Chain A
Amino acid sequence: DIQLTQSPSFVSASVGDRVTITCRASQGVNTHLAWYHQKPGKAPGLLIYSTSTLQSGVPSRFSGSGFGTEFTLTISSLQFEDIGTYYCQQFNYYPFTFGQGTQLEIK
C-alpha cells in the first residue's frame, strides 16, 4: 500500500498567516492526489483534487502543488473558519490511502 506522510501533524498559526502542509508519498502517485478539510464534528469536505484543482466553492486562498511523491497544500491567508484537520489522499493505486492528518488551530 502507498503510505502518505503529512507534516507537520499539528500547526498553530495566526489569522492572516501563510500556512503550508506537506504530504509525502512512499511511491509516486503522479498528480492523483486530493486534499480534504474536516471541521470538528463534521464530515470531511473536498478542497483540492488532481493536486492543484480547486473544488467548486472553495476559497482562492487555498492552493495545491506537487508531483510524484511530494505535495503541498497552502493557505495564503489563514481565516478562523480554516481550523480543523486536513488530510491528503492518493488515487493512483488501490487502496486509496489517506495521510494521517494535520490539525490546524488558530493562535
Chain B
Amino acid sequence: EVQLVESGGAVVQPGGSLRLSCAATGFNFGGYAMHWVRQVPGKGLEWVSLISWDGTVTYYAGSVEGRFTISRDDSKNSLYLQMNSLRTDDSGLFYCGKERTGHYIESWGQGTLVTVSS
C-alpha cells in the first residue's frame, strides 16, 4: 500500500526558511515523479512543484519560483521542499503526491501545516 507521510511544518516568521519532508513507502519511489501541492485550510488547491523520477527536471508555480527548491533522496525514499524567503501567503497545508503515468497525482499524503506569521 502506498503511504506518504509529510513532516516539517511549523510556525515561522516572514522571511524565514523551512524544509518539508515526505517519507514514501509501499512503492518503488525512484521510479516516479513527485509533487507538492498547497491548500489554505478551507480554500482551494494550488500546485506548487514537481520533480522528475530521476531528479533531473523540476518545475515550480510562479508564486514560489526562485524561493522554493524541490529535491529527492531515493536512498531514503524521501521527497523534500526547501522553502526560503517565506511570506504570509505561503501559509497552508502542504501535501506531497505520487504521480501516475501522465503526472496525474495518484496518491496523496495527509499534509503538513506551514504557518508564516509574525
Contact = CB atoms under 8 A, between A and B. Distances in A.
Contacts of B105: 34, 36, 44, 46, 89
Contact of A96 (B95, B103, B109, B110): B103
Contacts of B45: 36, 38, 44, 87, 89, 98, 101
A74 interface: no
Contact of A46 (B44, B59, B104): B104
Given A1-B62, A96-B50, A98-B47, A43 B108 contact: yes
Interface residues of B, number: 22
Contact of B103 (A44, A55, A91, A97): A91
Contacts of B44: 87, 98-101
A49 B109 contact: no
Contact of B106 (A55, A95, A96): A55
B111 A43 contact: yes
B100 interface: yes
Nearest to A101: B44
A94 to B, nearest CB: 5
Interface string B14-56: 0000000000000000000001000000001111001000000
Contacts of B110: 43
A72 B35 CA distance: 25
Contacts of B61: 95
Given A91-B103, A98-B46, A100-B44, A45 B62 contact: no
A32 to B, nearest CB: 7
Given A87-B44, A87-B45, A96-B50, A45 B104 contact: no
Given A36-B45, A46-B107, A87-B44, 20 more contacts: A1-B62, A32-B102, A34-B105, A36-B105, A46-B100, A46-B104, A49-B100, A49-B106, A89-B105, A94-B50, A94-B59, A95-B47, A95-B59, A95-B62, A96-B35, A96-B103, A98-B44, A98-B45, A98-B46, A100-B44
